[in-house]
Amino acid sequence: MEMVIGMTAVAVGLLIGMGALGTAIGFGLLGGKFLEGIARQPEMAPMLTGRMFLIAGLLDAVAMIGVGVALFFTFANPFVAAIQAAG
């Protein structure tokens, strides 16, 4: 039982950490391309700004879904319930 709880804690840490890392890389690339696009065509700044914020919201949603799954594994661990039902 302790092994399952320990491995679940490791998995939760990896879920949140990798989600944050992926989001950070995505935001860095998005911001760089946004500034590059505005530098090339300044007249398209309002359109690019709207699209950037749309993509940023979708990108951030991926990390929040990962946090939700991690919280589910933390507080309502289905693996522990399966071990308790078997034992």
Active-site positions?
60
DSSP secondary structure string for all residues of the chain: -HHHHHHHHHHHHHHHHHHHHHHHHHHHHHHHHHHHHHHH-GGGHHHHHHHHHHHHHHHHHHHHHHHHHHHHHHHS-HHHHHHHHH-
